[in-house]
Amino acid sequence: LVMAVLITVAQVVTSIMSAYAFVFLRFPFKRILFALFMATLLLPLEVTLVGNVATIRQLEWTDTYQALVLPFAAAALGTFLIRQGFRGLPPDIR
């Protein structure tokens, strides 16, 4: 239960912040960066497994909560859904 709560809170926070940035802030290469962000939806979780394990070992996070939470802290699907919600807001609320 602890892991589910930590991962859910992390995903909600990172999704809201990144969706806000993609909708309301102006920065260079915004569309390209968003397309790359969404392209991660096409990659299965197993593709990044070896890299995640190597990083966790380098950081000496083996058998810790950080090692379980951080790989799942950002979710492209959540960012996409919240971004669509932000884009649907009327201009006077923005």
Report the predicted TM-score, pTM, of the whole model to 2 decimal places. 0.84
Q: How far apart are CA 6 and CA 17, in angstroms?
A: 17
Using the predicted structure, report yes or no on whether residue 94 has a pLDDT greater than 80. Answer: no
Q: Calculate the average pLDDT of the chain.
A: 93
18 close to 79: Cβ distance less than 8 angstroms: yes
Residue-range domain boundaries for the chain: 2-87
How many beta carbons lie within 10 A of that of residue 48, not counting itself?
13
DSSP 40: G
65 close to 4: Cβ distance less than 8 angstroms: no
